[in-house]
Amino acid sequence: MEDAEAVNYFASKLEHETDVSDVHDALESGEPGFVLVDTRSDAAWARGRARGAVHIPRAQMPERIPAEFTPGTSFVVYCWGPGCNGATRSALALAKLGYSVKEMIGGFEYWAREGLPMDSEEGDVTRVPDPLVAPASPDGHVLVCDC
């Protein structure tokens, strides 16, 4: 028998969250259907960010988002990682402005740990995948979790 409360909870969660692998795959498609926004500080942005992201710190969102993006634009936001609620706060700010938004769970930490493409002021800073989050097969190739 279906647990309606659990179904509603998890369906709602999936409507408002996405993960780094899904974001990367969507960006790689060339038509992701969203703008990826790094909400961290200028210093954090300079040191490294997800390739394909734009930089809009949360404090600048009320002014910049309506000025730079048309109504109906969808966003995915990220901050540092699971121990930071900056992306949640940024998602709330965008929702209050009337935009569709999802939070990228894992944030920049898991983007980096999965070895996804990163840029910095110095250029490419992509890292080797962490085997705890992107397990490798015996031949050394990174496995897809297929979740």
Within a domain: residue 44? yes
Query: How many domains, in total, are found in the chain?
Result: 1
Provide φ and ψ at 54, rounded to 5°: -110, 155
Within a domain: residue 147? no
Within a domain: residue 81? yes
Within a domain: residue 17? yes
In the chain, which residues have pLDDT < 70? 136-137, 139-147
Q: In this predicted structure, what is the pLDDT of residue 1? A: 86
Within a domain: residue 140? no
Closest alpha carbon to 36 in 50, 46, 47: 50
Within a domain: residue 15? yes
Q: In this predicted structure, what is the pLDDT of residue 49? A: 98
Domain that holds residue 24: 4-124
pTM for the full model?
0.92
CA distance 70 to 51: 22
Q: In this predicted structure, what is the pLDDT of residue 40? A: 97
Token representation of residue 35? 């703008």
Within a domain: residue 141? no
Q: How far apart are the first and last CA of the chain?
A: 24
Within a domain: residue 114? yes
Q: What CATH number does the domain containing 52 carry?
A: 3.40.250.10
